[in-house]
Amino acid sequence: MKRVSLVSLLIIGLVLMFTACGQFKQTEEVNVRMDLTKQSTLEKIIASGELRHGFEAGYMPFEMVDKNGEFIGFDIDMGKKMAEALGVKWVPVNTAWDGIIPSLMTDKFDIIMSGMTVTQERNIKINFVEPYIVIGQAIIVNSKLAGKVNSYKDLNSPEYTVISKLGTTGEQAVKSMLPKATYKAFETESEGAMEVLSGNADAFVYDLPYMELFMTQRGDSGSIFLLNKPFTYEPLAWAINKGDPDFLNWLNNFMKQIKNDGTYDAIYDKWIRSDAWLAEVE
């Protein structure tokens, strides 16, 4: 009987020990989740009452400065709608493109909404929300090459000077897909496009929406033509810091909501399908 009692006590002790261990593990997991939630940018935004929106003004029609010095554009409207949904103030943070990812990582703002293309290289440092629009690289060509250049492949020669914007996927596309071309980089897309318009370069590679807009503004001169079939696949997405599943979840759900309640379509029609806004910046 004593042996049975001792065995029973041992079993009971082991059961209690494993139960306690299980409860401790559950408590530890709950604490980890609570700590993760508290550290989320989502909670910080709500607590501060501000959504700090990082972008680089100058990428038409996504983020620009109007005649009155106000920020306008596709991404600007999206940022304002996001702040409205969060019940906080929208705070613009205009940032140079070459420092925009480091600025996010050092908490200069909460989110990048600036026509950023999803790339594997960028995704190592930051996380992307589901893409909100898909674009690709198009080419503006000087008219002296009409009939000679019909695709990006025709520019892959040292005799052609090809332009793009520094630090962009346009630059990456030229270097990887036109390695033989003579390449020059410019700080802004307008400088690059004007080089081709003025005849100082043969072609300018950049995002299709901007190229179509530039042709609307300058194409009637007859000095340039547009190869408007994109030769790359480039989804644009918002970017946030890594290790923040709560904010990522909220943003993906926000995206689904605005794409199904008419909000996204209204913003898209205003900035992509229409050029009426040009009067605000010219």
Q: Which residue has the tokens 């897909």?
A: 177
What pTM was estimated for this model as a whole? 0.71
What pLDDT, on the 0 to 100 scale, is given for residue 1?
47
CB 234 within 8 A of CB 137: yes
CA dist 189 and 212 (Å) reads 13
- Which residues, listed in sequence order, are joined to residue 138 by a DSSP beta bridge? 206
Domains of the chain: 42-134+235-281 (3.40.190.10), 137-232 (3.40.190.10)
What pLDDT, on the 0 to 100 scale, is given for residue 217?
82
- Which residues, listed in sequence order, are joined to residue 239 by a DSSP beta bridge? 112, 128
CA dist 227 and 229 (Å) reads 6
What pLDDT, on the 0 to 100 scale, is given for residue 41?
96
Instruction: Note down pLDDT in tens along the chain; length 282 residues.
Output: 445 566 666 666 666 666 666 665 555 554 455 565 668 999 999 999 999 999 999 888 999 999 999 999 999 999 999 999 999 999 999 999 999 999 999 999 999 999 999 999 999 999 999 999 988 999 999 999 999 999 999 999 999 999 999 989 999 999 999 999 999 999 999 999 999 999 999 999 999 988 988 898 888 889 999 999 899 998 999 999 999 999 999 999 999 999 999 999 999 999 988 889 989 987
CA dist 248 and 170 (Å) reads 27
**What is the number of other CB atoms lying within 10 angstroms of the CB of residue 122?**
17
